[in-house]
A and B are shown apart, each in its own frame.
Chain A
């Protein structure tokens, strides 16, 4: 394999391994920094309404 081949190989591997490792880290290690109120707000929020929580009421 040529030097260019090694560079391609390592860049491809590096990109996808780093992305996968970062995703696993985020998924498994980092705890969800959420609070109960936030969840309640999300529960109340229906994306079919055009305005996000705190915005104008659709009623």
Chain B
């Protein structure tokens, strides 16, 4: 089978940056900064970038390029090659599996972006209230009832889903350079230009809410970036102080003080408290949020970068390319994404209104912002530009999710591109169809996201690090990364990658499990995703969740059987053996 390579260095950087830049950059990050406090969150975020994001990224690039130079492009082949045993290839399948499953639900969200872009372009979204915006979203994606997403028309997601699906498979069928690189070469600069246009528009907004002079872009920026959080608290019947809302800006604080003074004597006592940066940094959930945002935003630990890097030539630079793609992602996230959504939404809804509507990715992106755009002058145009920007960022990411499983199928079965595309298309149609059909409350999507998009990624990233730093050797790994690179990694990078990054990753995973999954810290409640499987606490067992878990195991078994039958990996141990001798 003909081996593929990237056409240019810029092409691979754009492709890897494209895989990292996604919806989270523009929708999730601003909400996270606002929720956890500007300076405190950014300190934890910057540290995570230096000690977790960049090291894992470099590890993936180094492993990918080295594996690719020996003819392996899938995570299964590369992990097997590094460990010198076919057994490890069975672990490596996890990389192909998780990216494939993530693709199958990500494409559904990608279709929402395209659908919103189209509907803004055709002036079909003229919301006047949050209820209207929410109602359109729920009907558009079919969240009311299973199977309700099926249906033709521009107010249904199906048409856009089919188009996005075909586009992804057409590009992946064209190959690494003629498909992925070609698309990212145009999509990434377009995406940045669109984002800059949106930033300029948002930063020049005035009088968004004429009835509320305190609501402004400045207040929105303060909500995100102010280091000291000012909170209005009320005392409940048991005497505990409970957070009422966050106050941003002098006018907001002054009006709260005035309201407190005028409050009747028999009303619940209120107070205004300030939470300093140091106090915010003591909160473990801030660190989990910042590190998690960094980890998921950079798309590290998925195995996607590893596959992309495997198409590099043996002496191609990886250290500078890796840092460039990471910094491109951060530029899009902090400098562009951080200025578009939350400041504009606060200027329109106010802090309380936005928090009430929701700061989550879906709430902010598909309920709050469409209403905001509908109320702007030329809002339909800006709405189209914004959702088209999201669509482009989603396609560049989804392509990177598809390539690892494509590489695995081609590598293990030795299939030609046409057959491997058809096989992958068949598998993806089935899984995406499952996500698409069971759209009520987004149960199938959420279940896949929990098990593959969160749990499996932590596990796979940790495995990669251990294989690279402990099995292959950190010092040898640094030499491997430095080979051909334009900038050299310092020697202490070996210490970081061997001790610091795995420790952070494991600590993050354990804290996340204790806090959000098993409820040992904090709420004390078991995660709803676990409850979906075992029931209890008036939570019914979900058949959809069980089917989703079954699909994950079925796809793993399918990939494992391909690996078992393939002779491509039988020589893994022998190859390493010869080299060592």
- Interface locus among B356-364, B438-446, B480-488, B549-557: B480-488
Contact yes or no, B327 A23, CB < 8 A: yes
Whether a CB of chain B sits under 8 angstroms from the CB of A57 is no
* Known A1-B226, A2-B226, A24-B324; contact A46-B579, beta-carbon cutoff 8 A: yes
Interface majority SS (helix, strand, loop, mixed), chain A: helix
Are B483 and A42 interface neighbours, CB within 8 A? yes
Within 8 A of A (CB), among B532-581: 576, 579-580
- B8-49: which residues lie under 8 A (CB-CB) from chain A? 9-10, 13, 38-39, 42, 46
Asked if residues B225 and A27 are in contact (CB atoms below 8 Å), the reply is no
Q: Compute how far the CA of A15 lies from the CA of B335 in the bound complex, rounded to whole angstroms.
A: 10
Q: Could you say which of B226, B249, B327, B334 contacts A4, with CB atoms under 8 Å apart? A: B226
Assembled-state Cα–Cα distance A52/B476 (Å): 9
A42 to B480, CA, bound (A): 10
Inter-chain contacts of B328 with A (CB < 8 A) = 20, 23
Binds A, one of B159-167, B254-262, B313-321: B313-321
**Cβ-based interface call for B221 (8 A):** yes
A-chain residues with CB within 8 Å of residue B331 when the two chains form the complex: 16-17, 20
Asked whether B221 lies within 8 Å of A9 as measured between CB atoms, the reply is yes
Contacts of A26 in B (CB 8 A): 320, 324, 486-487
| A17, closest chain B residue (CB) | B335
When C-beta atoms are compared, the residue in chain B nearest to A23 turns out to be B324
Interface bracket on B: 35 or more
Most chain B CB neighbours (cut-off 10 Å) among A8, A45, A52: A8
Given contacts A20-B331, A26-B486, contact A50 B476 (CB under 8 A): yes
Cβ < 8 Å to A, chain B residues 65-83: 66
Q: Are A43 and B479 in contact (CB under 8 A)?
A: no
CB < 8 Å: which of A12, A23, A24, A27 contacts B42?
Answer: A12
Interface residues of A, CB < 8 Å — how many?
A: 33
Chain B 425-448 near chain A by CB (<8 Å), digits 1 or 0: 000000000000000000000000
**A27 and B13 within 8 A (CB):** yes
Selected contact of A47 from candidates B218, B224, B476, B580, CB within 8 Å: B476
B125 located at the interface, meaning its Cβ lies under 8 Å from any Cβ of chain A in the complex: no
**A 35-56 to B, binary, CB cutoff 8 A, 1 in contact else 0:** 0000100110111111010000
Complex contact A5–B486 (CB within 8 A): no
Name B39's contact: one of A4, A20, A23 (CB within 8 Å): A4
Interface membership of B60, Cβ < 8 A: no
**Nearest CB in chain B to that of A26: its residue:** B320
Interface string of B478-502 (1 = CB under 8 A from A): 0110011011000000000000000
Chain B hits for A1, CB < 8 A? 218-219, 221-222, 225-226, 249
Would A47 and B320 count as touching, CB distance under 8 A?
no
Question: A8 is contacted by which of B39, B218, B486 (Cβ under 8 Å)?
Answer: B39
Contact residues in B for A16 (Cβ distance below 8 Å)? 327, 330-331, 334-335
Question: Of the candidates B46, B484, B487, which one forms a contact with A15 in the assembled complex, judged by CB atoms under 8 Å apart?
Answer: B46
- Residues in B with CB closer than 8 Å to A23 are 320, 323-324, 327-328
Q: Tell me which of A5, A20, A28, A42 contacts B225 (CB under 8 A).
A: A5
List the B side residues contacting A28 at CB < 8 Å: 10
* Across-interface contacts of A4 in B (CB, < 8 A): 39, 226-228
With A5-B227, A19-B330 as known contacts, state yes or no: A47 contacts B221, CB within 8 Å: no
Q: Given A23-B328, A26-B320, A42-B484, 9 other A-B contacts at CB below 8 A?
A: A1-B222, A5-B38, A8-B42, A8-B226, A16-B330, A26-B324, A28-B10, A46-B579, A48-B580
30 contacts between A and B (CB under 8 A): A1-B226, A2-B222, A2-B226, A4-B39, A5-B38, A5-B225, A5-B227, A6-B225, A7-B227, A8-B42, A9-B224, A12-B338, A16-B327, A16-B331, A17-B331, A19-B323, A20-B324, A20-B328, A23-B320, A23-B327, A26-B320, A26-B486, A27-B13, A27-B321, A27-B324, A30-B486, A43-B314, A45-B483, A46-B579, A47-B66
Please provide the 10 A-B residue pairs with the shortest distance between their CB atoms, ordered closest to farther: A1-B222, A23-B324, A5-B226, A47-B480, A20-B331, A8-B39, A20-B327, A5-B225, A4-B227, A9-B225
